[in-house]
């Protein structure tokens, strides 16, 4: 039995990642999930969160000084 093929990810760099900065994050919409990966090492995999968990993560991160 074959596993279903994951949707094609269209990665985009975070608007907070500058052109010359070393800390770049990319995100992709995977239909029911949002994927996050390190743009410098895309081959190492990604973290996939539900849309609700991604929103919670963003709220948490933006509330920090």
pLDDT of 28-57, one tens digit each? 999 899 999 988 888 898 999 999 999 999
pLDDT at 47: 93
CA nearest neighbour of 36 among 19, 51, 49? 49
pLDDT at 20: 65
The answer to whether the pTM exceeds 0.75 is no
What number is the average pLDDT over the span 7-16? 78
- CA separation for the pair 51, 61 (Å, rounded): 15
pLDDT at 2: 52
């Amino acid at each position: 039995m074959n596993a279903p093929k994951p949707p094609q990810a269209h990665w985009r760099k975070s608007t907070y990642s500058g052109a010359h900065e070393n800390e770049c994050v990319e995100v992709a919409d995977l239909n029911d999930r949002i994927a996050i990966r390190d743009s410098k090492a895309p081959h190492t995999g990604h973290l996939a969160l539900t849309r609700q968990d991604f929103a919670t993560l963003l709220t948490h991160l933006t509330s920090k000084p």
